Amino acid sequence: MKKLIIVMLVLLFGTIHQTAAQNTENDQAALVETVKTAATWEDAIAAVYQLTDQVALAKIAKTHRNENVRRMAVYKLDDQAILVEIAKSDTDMLVCQEAILKLDDRATLLEIAREGKNGWSSLAVAEKLNDLTLITDVAKNNANGWIRFEVAQKLKDDVLLVDIAKNDVDEQVRQMAVSRLNDQVVLTEIVKNDKSEKVRQAAVPRLNDQAVLAEIAQNDENGWVRSWAIEKLTDHALLLDFATNDTDNSVRLIAANRLKDQVFLAKVAQHDENEQARQIAVSLLNDQEILMGIANNDTSENVRQTAMQTLNEKASQKRKEEARVRQKAVSTLNDQTLLAEIAENDESELVRQAAVHKLDDQTLLAEIAQNDGDLGVRHAAVRKLNDQAILEKIAKTDRHQQVFALAMSRLNDQAILIEIAKNDETGMRRYMAIGNIKDQEFLAERAKNDDSVPVRQNAVNRLNDQHLLEEIFTTDKDQQVRQAAERRLQTLNREKWPTELDRARPVRAVEEK
């Protein structure tokens, strides 16, 4: 396993490039020189990986500035004394661990644990020896909080975990220990007494005692800790009390969302003296008959309005669910008569649209395209239309840009598009028509003469005549049109145009002066 990890390190961090190190695989001196002069530490690792000279490896392992290179050298080392020295003195966690993995003498390992400069050495030795006494010492006495955190994350000894959870000075270490405890007495003590809300918050999800959870939900000074407690409460009366009376908005919301018992909610909605409690219960009720009764008879206008709102939301949700079922069913139909009836009469625009997608009747599609009350359904109908006369009518008269633009894109007759682009009173309709016209002479005329700048810009965007575009760029009075001509020229001739543009700019500059 250890060898596999190191080989993976080589592949990941030190792809063995085609360098001098590879070309001189057996030349140890050349490899050492490569390690010294390598431009990247990946190249240095590649060279170290091929070294066999133990003296050279020892020097690299002790002195190289890069920890990955040192670690590779340690992996290649066999000298136990040098490995001990590195395990005691290196400041990098992984280098120390690599050295310790290669040592087996227990007394030597214990010496490293006592004398190592890197706190991680103690943990590495403890794990290698599986020594509970040493692990306990690391867990309680190591100065590095992250090392103690690592111990807490891996410990299986419940007694030691409890000790850490109660006594470690670092709240993150205590939090980790608490997250691994199951002892309800200990967890209760911690959640009531620990000064850190993070530690208390870690304890709450592991508690099962409803009385303790209720006490925490009522008394903890931190809203998040109380919210976690409420998430585990099952007492509906308590939950309703929190949802109704708590001063924290997030706590009230969480408590309300935990109320699921419809019998309990119905009782509260109909009989509770507290108006706010009735409102909350009403908003969560599913029984349509009870909601209707409350909407008609409750003494509070706010409760009656909440009941009506809930009824409307339930009805809307039901309609949407039913529409999705019908929509799915329509997608399997091929009967044109049935599809026509659905496309004309279904109350859901989603269902009508699904039917339109499968319709073939051009007359009916034309009627839907012009008269349906939903823009999406009309758009779907236009997409299915082939009747050029109807498409022309829609292109010329429809009020919605999305619809008339699609109709124009489906017109085959350039003469109709030219008529719209020349004579229509609305600039947007002329703009859309221009986008579908191919006649270069007409586009040139519109680029020069239309009274709408966006229409002229769109005409310029479709021109191919570079001389005309250069003329527009150098002489047109509108800056946006000139810029459109410049962009179009650059598109048509990305290499040639910048040189010509440089010649044209001074001309324009003189004219503007």
Phi, psi of 103 (to 5 degrees): -105, 145
Mean pLDDT, residues 221-233 taken together: 89
pLDDT at 453 over 90: yes
Mean pLDDT over the full length of the chain: 84
pLDDT of residue 512: 44
DSSP for 366-411 reads HHHHHH-S-HHHHHHHHHH---HHHHHHHHHH-S-HHHHHHHHHT-
| pLDDT tens sequence across 343-368 | 999 999 999 999 999 999 999 999 99
Q: Which residues contact 412 (CB under 8 A, 6 or more apart)?
A: 388
CB atoms within 10 A of CB 478: 12
pLDDT at 497 over 80: no
CA angle, 187 then 189 then 191, to 5°? 65
pLDDT of residue 500: 43
How sure is the predictor about 128, in pLDDT bands with cuts at 50, 70 and 90? confident
How sure is the predictor about 247, in pLDDT bands with cuts at 50, 70 and 90? confident
pLDDT at 152 over 90: no
| CA gap 492, 152 in Å, rounded | 67
Q: Taking a C-beta distance cutoff of 8 angstroms, is the pair 274, 244 a contact?
A: yes
pLDDT at 8 over 50: no
| Entry pTM | 0.48
| pLDDT tens sequence across 37-71 | 888 888 888 888 988 889 989 898 888 999 999 99
CB atoms within 10 A of CB 252: 19
For the chain, give every domain's residue range: 439-513
Higher pLDDT, 201 or 96: 201
Higher pLDDT, 140 or 46: 46
pLDDT of residue 496: 54
How sure is the predictor about 7, in pLDDT bands with cuts at 50, 70 and 90? very low
Phi, psi of 398 (to 5 degrees): -65, 145
Mean pLDDT, residues 191-212 taken together: 92
Token pair, residue 15, equals 């792809």
Work out the percent of the chain whose per-residue pLDDT is above 90. 43
